[in-house]
Amino acid sequence: MNPKIERSLYIVVILVLAFVLFTLGKKEVELKKQIPITAEELYKKLSNPKIKVQIIDVRELTSSDEVGGYEDSRIPGALPFPNCDESKMTTENLKEALKRINPYVYTVIVSTDGNQEIFKKCASKFTNVQNLAGGMKAWQDAGLPDESGEYTPPKAGGGGGCL
């Protein structure tokens, strides 16, 4: 066979396979968005240092309800992003948190009770995102570790978000 034709054939096959892989990858991300992650599954992922997970807490900073706000009780390492609204990120610490939010990293959205509407609003800002089923309430009910207090950016050189 003519080497040029043979080479072109190989390249076409590789391009077709790459396209199929890309399409399936996109479908996987879309499907993941529709399936919420449970508190136990998230805990397992957070315990695995090989998996990079970004947790975005969309609750208000303080709240009088049973679950509380971000500063009352949160998943360790969670970044505050109240209501997924940039205009609410007014203090220095919140502005620093906003800078740390990476839209291209696998992200889990944490609301009070896993509200779908707030999740849909936030999901548009991230490429690979899942909702926490039952929200912070489910995390607390499962007795999983949490932390409290005002958000403080991790110091340079230090790790963050470990359980």
Position 6 contacts other proteins (CB under 8 A): yes
* Shortest Cβ 111–other proteins spacing (Å): 18
In this structure, what is the dihedral angle of CA atoms 100, 158, 50, 132, given to the nearest 10 degrees? -50
Give me the sheet containing 54-57, strands edge to edge.
Answer: 79-80, 54-57, 107-110, 129-131
Closer CB to other proteins, 15 or 163, in the complex: 15
- Judge contact between 128 and 35, C-beta under 8 A: no
Position 12 contacts other proteins (CB under 8 A): no
Give the distance from CA 92 to its chain's centroid: 22
* Shortest Cβ 16–other proteins spacing (Å): 9
Position 17 contacts other proteins (CB under 8 A): yes
x-marked contacts with other proteins along 22-41 as a string, rule CB under 8 A: --xx-xx--xx-xx------
- Provide the β-strand partners of residue 110: 57
Characterize 67-91 residue by residue with b for buried, 16 or more Cβ atoms within 10 angstroms of its Cβ, and e for exposed: bbbbbbbbbebbbbbbebeeeebee
Closer CB to other proteins, 21 or 142, in the complex: 21
Closer CB to other proteins, 11 or 163, in the complex: 11
Q: Which residues of the chain form contacts with other proteins (CB under 8 A)?
A: 3, 6-7, 10, 13-14, 17-18, 20-21, 24-25, 27-28, 31-32, 34-35
